[in-house]
Structure 1
Amino acid sequence: MEKFVIEGGRMLSGSITPGGNKNEALPALAACLLTDETVVLNNVPEIKDVQVMLEVIENLGASVERLSANRYAIRADNLQDIPRPNRELCQRIRASILFAGPLLGRKMAVDLSPPGGDVIGRRRLDTHFSGFVDLGAIVEVRDIYRLRARTGLRGTDIFLDEQSVTATENLIMAACLAQGQTTLLNAACEPHVQNLCHLLNAMGAQIHGIGTNTVVINGVERLHGAEHNIGPDYLEIGSYAALAAVTGGELTINGVRESDLRMILKVFSRIGIMTDVHGETLTVPGRQELKVKRDLHGVIPKIDDAPWPAFPTDLMSIAITAATQSNGPVLFFEKMFEGRMFFVDSLISMGASIILCDPHRVVVAGPSQLYGATLESPDVRAGMALLIASLCARGRSTIYNIRQIDRGYEKIEQKLQSLGAAIERVGV
C-alpha cells in the first residue's frame, strides 16, 4: 500500500509527452489472442491495468516478451482448448471482459469470471452477451460466464442497445473470425475503437466503416501477426491541460492528435481554459485568468457527457475540479454513471463551493481557495481529479488508495515532479 504526499500551491510548468492510450492498449492486448502468430505493440503504457492483462494472457498459455520500454511481443500459439482466464486476475480490472470476443472467435469457447474495475455505477454486460447470441453463441450466466459456439459463429446484423465501447470492441473481435458478414449498428466509434480496427485490419481482418456508428466486418478464416503503435492517451492530455491551467503554469504537451481533442478543448474553453494546438503540440499558456463563459443572455452553462464525439465521461471529474478555480457558476450533468459524482464530497471538504443536486448533477461556483486534506482515491479518474485539486490547494494533502491512479496514469509522480510539483510516493 502506498500514498501520495503533496505540498500544493506551486505553479507547474514545463513539457511532457503523454503515455499510450490505456483504452486502446487493453483491447489491443486482447486482440493478440486472435492469432497464433506474433503481434508487436508499441507505446504500451506500463500501468497496473496493462500488467494485469499481460498476466492473464500468460496464464492462458500465450508468451509475453517485453522487447523494450513500452514495447511488447505477444504470441498466442499454445492457448488452452477451453480458455479459462484466471478468476482472481479478472476481478481486478474491468477490461477482462474483452477476452470474451477473441477467445470465443478463435477457440469457440471461453469460461470467464465477472470483471472488476471502478465502482462508478452500474456497467451493463447485456449488450456484449446479446451480441454473442446474435452471432450464434450459447451464453450461460452463473458465477462465471460460459460461452460456447460449437458450430462456429455466423455473421449477422446486430443493433446494439447502447453505444458501449467494450461491447463494440468485443463483437468486432469475435466477428473477425465468424462466417460471413456482420454489421454492427449503433456501434461506438471512439478513437480507441477506431485504432483497434486498424490493428485488426493489419492482422488480416476486413473491417469497414471505421469511425462511424455502422461497422461492417467480413469474416476471414484466420488472422496473422502484425505490429501496431498505440496512440496517445487523450484523457491524460486533458488531465495535464487542466492541471496546468489551475496551477497557473505554462505547459507544452508533445505528441498529441488534435482530432482526439476537439470536443475536450471546446468544453475546457467554456470554463476558461485556453489552449493552442500546432501540429502534434498542445500548449497551455501560463497565468490564465479562468472565467466561466456563460451562454447567450447570461444563462449558466451546462456541461454534459455522451458517447464520442461528445465530451468523454472520463474527464468529467477533471473538468469539475478545474471549474472550482474558474470564476462563475456552471452545471455539470453526468449522464452515464450514477456513482461518478460522489467524489465531490472530497472537493467540498477542501473548500470547494459545490452543490450535489442528485447522483448525476452538480453545480460548481468558483473560484474557491482549496486547502490541503486527507483524501482517498475512489477510482482512476476521480483519483487524478483529487491529485489536481491537491496540487493547486494551499498546504499539504495526503491521498490514499493511489493504486487506482496507477491503473491509468504511467509514472505519474515522476511526470509531475518534472513540472515542479512537490509530490512524494510513500509506503503505508
Structure 2
Amino acid sequence: MAKLKVIGGAPLKGNIELISDELTILACQAASLLATSGTVILDHVQSTPKIVATNKVLQKIGVKLAYNRHEEILKLDAGWHLTSVELTANEVQMVGTVLARCREVSLIKAPEISQQVSELKIIFNQLGATVTENDTQLTITANHLEGQAFDVSSWSVETIINILTVATLTQGITVLNGVPNLPVVSSLVELLNKMGAKVHRTNNSTVRIQGVNYLHGADLYIINDQLQAGFYLMLAAATGGDLVALGAYADYLQPVTKYLEAAGNTIITQRNGIRVIGTQILLPTKPNPDLLAIADLRIQIGILAVQARQLGQTQFEFSKTLAEEIHPWLGSQVHYQEGRGMTLDGPINSLPTTLTYHESTIGLVGLALALTVKQTTWLDQAELLGELDKKLVDHLASLGAQIKIEF
C-alpha cells in the first residue's frame, strides 16, 4: 500500500494551470437534454470519471454524442425520442431535465444526497409534480409544471442546477432568490439563453426564468475551475508562498481574496489570473457569509488550512463529519459544537507522525494540514487522494511542496 510522505512548511510558489470546471460540464451535460433540435457543443471539456459516466447515462437515455478528447470538444444531440433511466447520486443534477423530456424520473436515494432529495421533493411538489418515495427511491412524474418563487440561499448547488434547467420549460415565471455567484450558475444561464431560454439576473442574487415551449442546440466554452483556483490560493497563503492561479477570475473569487487579504496576505489581480503573496504571520479572521456561500469541500479544506496557521482562537463553519474525523489529529486545539461550527486554537504546530484515514476527503484534509506544519508527516493510503485529483501530488510537487509517494 502506497504512503504519502510530506515534509511540511515548504512555501508553494509558481503558477498553477487550472482544469475545466467539472461541475459546469455536468450541469451543461444535463441541460443538453432540453434541446429538441440541434446540437449542444461544449468546448474545453477535460475527461474525468464523472463526466465519462454521465456521458454513458446520456447515451442510455437516447442522446447521440461525440467526444474528442484531444480537442476537448463534446457534442450532444438530444433531438430524438428519449427514455427515462434510473439516476444515481452521481446524476442528481439531471433529475429536472430528464423529467422535462420524459415526464418521469426516478432517483436512487443515498446518504450523500439526502439534502438534495429533501430539496427536490419541496421544489417539485410546489411546481405541481407528483412526488412519491420509498426507502430506496424517489420518483417524480409531471405532465405540466407551473412557475413559483423560491429562496435558494441554503440549497445545494445540484438542486439549483435542477430548478434552473427545468424552469426553462415550465409554464409561467419562476423566480429564484438568494442565488450564489458561482461559475456554474453563470455558465449554465449563458448556455440556456443561447439555447433559446429566457433567463434574467435581475440583481446579484435573483434570477427570473420565463418558461418557453422548446429549446435548441447551442455552444459554450467551459470556464476554468474557479474553486480549484481558490483551493490553491488558500494553500499558498497557508504555507507563506507566492502563487499565481492562471485563468482565475476576480469576479468569482472575490470572497476568497477578501478573506486572504483580511488574514494579512497580498492579493494581486493580473490579466492572466490571480496572485497571492503569503505572509509568515496570519491574522485571525472569520470567513464571511459570501465565502461560505461558495464553499465546496475544497474551499472548506482551504479555509481550515489557513485557520490552522492563524494566531489565536477562530471559529468557522465546517463539516461535522470531517471535524469528528480530524479531531484525533488536532486534539484539544479543535472543538465542534452543533449550530456554532468549529472552533480552532491556532496555530497548529504539530500533527501525529502518521495520519490514518479511510476516505479520500479525509485524506485531502490531512494533506492540507501536513503541508502547513513544519514536520515530516506520513499519510496512509495515498491512492485515495488520486480519486479526487490524479494530478494533485504532481501539481503540489511542481509548486515546491516536499511531497512524494513511497511504497
- TM-score, length basis structure 1: 0.82
Identity %: 23
Counterpart of 2:334 in structure 1 is 355
1:244 is paired with a residue of what secondary structure? Answer: helix
Identify the structure with the greater helix proportion: 2
What's the secondary structure of 1:376's corresponding residue?
Answer: coil
For each residue in 1:339-372, what CA deviation from the matched residue of structure 2 results, as whole angstroms up to 9, or x when unmatched?
34234326427xxx72214252222311514464
Aligned equivalent of 1:61: 62
Amino acid at match of 1:130: I
Matches of residues 205-354 of structure 1 in structure 2 within 5 Å?
205-209=197-201, 212-285=204-277, 288-293=279-284, 301-303=285-287, 306=289, 310=293, 312=295, 314=297, 315-326=299-310, 328-334=311-317, 337-345=319-327, 347-348=329-330, 354=333
Partner of 1:154: 146
Q: 1:254 to 1:162 in 2, by over 3 A?
A: closer
Give the gaps of 5 or more residues in structure 2.
Answer: none
Question: Which amino acid counterpart does residue 325 of structure 1 have in structure 2?
Answer: R
Taking structure 1 as reference, are residues 401 and 332 closer, same or farther at Cα in structure 2, changes over 3 Å only?
A: farther
Aligned to 1:384: 364
What SS does the aligned partner of 2:162 have?
A: helix
More displaced stretch, 191-200 vs 264-273: 264-273
1:19–1:45 contact (8 Å) kept in structure 2: yes
Q: CA deviation at 1:35?
A: 1.6
Kindly state the Cα deviation for residue 182 of structure 1 after the two structures are TM-superposed: 2.2
Q: 2:123 aligns with which of 131, 135, 153?
A: 131
Could you tell me which amino acid in structure 2 is paired with residue 47 of structure 1?
T
Residues in 1 aligned to 2:162 and 2:326: alpha-carbon distance in whole angstroms? 33
Determine helix, strand or coil for the equivalent of 1:400: coil
Residues 48-87 of structure 1 deviation map (CA, whole Å, 9 limit, x = unaligned) = 3333323322332323422134432222344543x1135x
Aligned letter for 1:312?
Answer: A
Give the conservation status (yes or no) of the 8 Å contact 1:354–1:365: yes
Count of aligned positions: 399
Report the counterpart of residue 53 of structure 2 in structure 1.
52
3-state secondary structure, aligned to 1:277: strand
- CA 1:21–1:400: 2 relative to 1, 3 Å: same
Q: Residues 34 and 223 of structure 1 are in contact (CA less than 8 Å); yes or no, is this contact kept in structure 2?
A: yes
Aligned twin of 1:297? none
SS in 1 for 2:165: helix
Residue pairs, 1:84-95, within 5 angstroms: 84-85=85-86, 90-91=88-89, 93=90
1:99 is matched with 94
Secondary structure in 2 aligned to 1:103? Answer: helix
**SS of equivalent residue, structure 1 residue 292:** coil
For residue 8 of structure 1, what is the aligned residue in structure 2? 7
User: Is the 1:190–1:309 Cα contact (8 Å) retained in structure 2?
Assistant: no
The 3 A distance-change label for structure 1 pair 426 and 139 is: farther
Q: In the TM superposition, what is the alpha-carbon distance from 1:100 to its structure 2 partner?
A: 0.9
Report the Cα offset of residue 254 of structure 1.
0.9
> CA 1:243/1:3 → structure 2, altered by over 3 Å: closer, same or farther?
farther
1:424 Cα deviation (Å)?
4.5
2:107 corresponds to: 112
User: d(CA) in 1 for partners of 2:191 and 2:3?
Assistant: 37
Q: Which whole-Å CA distance do the structure 2 matches of 1:331 and 1:61 have between them?
A: 52
Displacement of 1:160: 4.8
Counterpart of 2:140, as a letter, is L
User: 2: distance between equivalents of 1:372 and 1:274?
Assistant: 32
Paired with 2:201 and 2:345, the residues of 1 have a C-alpha distance of 40
Contact 1:341/1:362 (8 A) holds in 2: no
Deviation per CA, 1:354-391: give whole Å up to 9, x if none.
221425222231151446423326454x5433222233
SS of residue in 1 equivalent to 2:228: helix
User: Which residue of structure 2 lines up, in the alignment, with residue 400 of structure 1?
Assistant: 381
1:226-251 deviations in Å (ceiling 9; x for gaps): 11122222221122122223334322
Q: Match of 1:251, SS?
A: strand
Query: SS at 1:179's partner residue?
Result: coil
**1:375 and 2:356 correspond:** yes
